[in-house]
Structure 1
Amino acid sequence: MANKDINQMGLPKWITNIFTARNITTAKEVLSLTEFQLMELLDVGLADVTSAVAHISEVVCPPCQTALLLMEHRVRNENLAGHLPTRLKGLDEALCGGLPFGVLTELVGPAGIGKTQFCLKLSLLASLPENYGGLDGSVIYIDVESKFSSKRLIEIGMKSFPEIFHMKGMAKEMAGRILVLRPSSLSEFTESLHEIKVSLLQHQVKLLIIDSMAALVLGESDYGGPRQHPLGWHVSFIKSLAEFSRIPVIVTNQVRSQIRDAVCKYSFQAQSCAETKDDTARYDSHLVAALGINWAHAVTIRLVLEATSGQRYIKVAKSPMSPPLAFPFCITSLGISLLNDDGVELTGLEISTITCQGQNDVLNIDGERLWG
């Protein structure tokens, strides 16, 4: 609109001719100058300049919309603003229907907390027929750490959806809808991204899962500043995949320790409860999301899975449609199950902390403590 021609503005012909004579032909060129500059350039009075600028501004300015109009527009275009229900009632209600289409949703937490279990359940939900509440599509599951288990997938399906999986051939059909890729390096993953974009259309893909993004870059460079650079392109490309295909994209992320004395650049910081083997001292460190602040800005929904005093929680730590809430959960043969649907609203540091109690240390090749 800013490049709209002055001749199309509906201004009085006399002032339009003056603009044209002074080689001012677009709204942008008019609005880039002050009223006094225009007075001097056009040789007209302040009242005429003010009137012309006000008229041009009104023409090129986007119309105001009420919240009600935006909501009605969203309802009319629900196919572009849909959700993948997680079947965790409290979480779905907090997220206004589930994991939204067209954006990145991140699962971050320590090893063994349940991130992959959650991803397996989501894979089944996306591949379920629509009349059973699914998306009736295929799933691309990028299994970086070889944690994907077909046996566990079928077990979750049999226990969660017995009316479907007990039908002859249905378990085989559902498992056949999930395409598992196992890139061995970041470069191999990079090469496959363009093929994935084509597959999203050719195979009616309704869900993309990357488990885990942090593992792709682990060992390629030290954590911190240098590691952000190779991820810049990947962040942009994955976001474009979500927006282009209008499907939910789920990415898991690890956590790492950070020396408390270091400058705290990242969110989701908490005092680590990890102890030394002789139980004589605690590490004076934080737990932080492994991919850092640049990655944190790229995700729209961030769900933190953590353990406190022997109880697991899933926290809505970042969401444009929900307050920060925490739900206790457990892992059963059904997958992840909430212990209750009434989330506890979080305040202060509770929102951004990651706690890890009872988890074993995992060391990377440089000896840095890392929880996957």
Structure 2
Amino acid sequence: MDSSKIADVNNPDRSEDEPLSSFPLSPSLISKLKDEGFIYVADVKGLRPMELHAVTGINLKDCLAVVRAVRKDTDNKVLKALQITREGNHSSHISTFCRGLDNILGGGFATRSITELSGSPGIGKTLLCLQACISVQLPTTLGGLAGESVFIDTEGKFSALRLKDIAAHVTQLVKTTTPQHNLEPTVESLLKGIHYFRCYNCLEVLAAVRRVCSLQKENQKIKLLVIDSIAYPFLYDDYESELVGLKSFTTQELQDLVNNHNMAVIITNHVTIRGDGQCVDLVGELGEMWGHYPTVRLILHWKDSERVASVTKAPHLCNAEAKYEVTIAGIEDKESSEVCSNHESKKRRIEAATHS
């Protein structure tokens, strides 16, 4: 390879007429690309790995390497701590409408953050995701972001009827507790604010995430992405030899959403038991490497016949737990010291947020 053609791999300002041979790709891969007519950056720019694979016949792992190599967001920027602190202060939160959960999460599901919900089946992971899709659409004075959401469903657990119940409850609460805002949300308007993708394998998940990046550029009201669940397509797919690369590329796309588009990402994960019988822990699936990607890990589990949410990983939060319960209205605080209806409990929280 001509050394004069080798460019700085950390330079983000690569021109479209720069040869692919200037990137840190193997000579055999460069040769395969050249044989198929892919010689310059412009030839592969904008292509997805699966599209490059379909056109060239090159294995998907190598196609992932090519696409990653030409991405312009590989720039290693030098930042000052003050700048990082100021950018962190621009994060917003989506209320869970559960006081205990909001408290241990520092206000709710944060933007610029990937929150992982782990837990056994039936513990309330999907329900909490559906509730977030509704609450993100409320104004900031009520714990929302006045935005919209995208729900990527990999297991077929998305329930339109359950979502309708939550929307109806929130609509009624807003109308009865905040008449001064002149808000008139309807069940139909709240359902319209949720964009739905049904994916059956990891390739479709990757394509959907890429699609969300495009949607967000067209519609900046999209502030929340939910993937329910991230584990299923990677645990039960046929692309065993390519899963590591696909998983890595998917997480890169998710990081782009939270870092560059100020979005909140919520992903659900399966759990497995780790321990020697005397000391047992619940841990998320997809291995140890995956555990580094989420910013916040929230494990939902049973404790003495009660549902409990525990923060087990968060650089800016203390490990803590909160009790909750599942009701027709969604996820609610576990009332212990006083007896009151779920409606009244949530009503008081909305009123408190309005007057704070």
Q: Which residue of 1 aligns with 2:189?
A: 173
2:117 aligned to which of 107, 112, 117? 107
Q: Give, in angstroms, the shift of residue 340 of structure 1.
A: 5.5
Structure 2 runs not aligned, ≥5 long: 1-77, 177-182, 338-356
Q: Give, in angstroms, the shift of residue 94 of structure 1.
A: 2.9
> Closer, same or farther in 2 for the Cα pair 1:328/1:132, shift >3 Å?
closer
Q: Give, in angstroms, the shift of residue 227 of structure 1.
A: 5.0
Deviates more, 1:127-136 or 1:245-254: 127-136
> Closer, same or farther in 2 for the Cα pair 1:130/1:260, shift >3 Å?
same
Q: Which residue of 1 aligns with 2:96?
A: 86
> Closer, same or farther in 2 for the Cα pair 1:227/1:340, shift >3 Å?
farther
Per the normalisation by structure 2, the TM-score is 0.63
Q: Give the alignment's Cα RMSD to 1 decimal.
A: 3.2
Paired residues of 1:228 and 1:294 also in contact (CA < 8 A): no
Question: Which amino acid in structure 1 is aligned with residue 270 of structure 2?
Answer: Q
Asked whether 1:315 is paired with 2:325, we answer: no
> Closer, same or farther in 2 for the Cα pair 1:197/1:313, shift >3 Å?
same
Q: Give, in angstroms, the shift of residue 221 of structure 1.
A: 5.9
> Closer, same or farther in 2 for the Cα pair 1:302/1:169, shift >3 Å?
closer
Question: What number of residue pairs does the alignment pair up?
Answer: 253
> Closer, same or farther in 2 for the Cα pair 1:338/1:177, shift >3 Å?
same
- CA distance in 2: counterparts of 1:190 and 1:152, whole angstroms: 27
Q: Which residue of 2 aligns with 1:123?
A: 133
Paired residues of 2:168 and 2:186 also in contact (CA < 8 A): no
Asked whether 1:206 is paired with 2:216, we answer: no
Paired residues of 2:104 and 2:322 also in contact (CA < 8 A): no
Q: Give, in angstroms, the shift of residue 258 of structure 1.
A: 5.6
- CA distance in 2: counterparts of 1:317 and 1:340, whole angstroms: 23
- CA distance in 1: counterparts of 2:152 and 2:117, whole angstroms: 14
Structure 1 runs not aligned, ≥5 long: 1-60, 262-268, 272-285, 343-372
Q: Which residue of 1 aligns with 2:236?
A: 219
- CA distance in 2: counterparts of 1:104 and 1:170, whole angstroms: 29
Q: Give, in angstroms, the shift of residue 157 of structure 1.
A: 2.2
Q: Which residue of 1 aligns with 2:44?
A: none
Deviations along 1:276-332, one digit per CA (max 9) or x if unpaired, are: xxxxxxxxxx64311111111011111000112321110011112221111111101
> Closer, same or farther in 2 for the Cα pair 1:142/1:270, shift >3 Å?
farther
Q: Which residue of 1 aligns with 2:286?
A: 291
Question: Which amino acid in structure 1 is aligned with residue 235 of structure 2?
Answer: L
Deviations along 1:220-257, one digit per CA (max 9) or x if unpaired, are: 2699x985443111112211121121011000001135
Paired residues of 1:90 and 1:340 also in contact (CA < 8 A): no
Per the normalisation by structure 1, the TM-score is 0.60
Q: Give, in angstroms, the shift of residue 195 of structure 1.
A: 1.7
Deviations along 1:114-165, one digit per CA (max 9) or x if unpaired, are: 0001001100001224454321211100011111111111211222441447
- CA distance in 2: counterparts of 1:106 and 1:258, whole angstroms: 18
Q: Which residue of 2 aligns with 1:334?
A: 329
- CA distance in 2: counterparts of 1:201 and 1:151, whole angstroms: 30
Paired residues of 1:300 and 1:320 also in contact (CA < 8 A): yes
Map 1:241-260 onto structure 2 (within 5 A): 241-257=257-273, 260=276
> Closer, same or farther in 2 for the Cα pair 1:164/1:91, shift >3 Å?
closer
> Closer, same or farther in 2 for the Cα pair 1:63/1:250, shift >3 Å?
closer
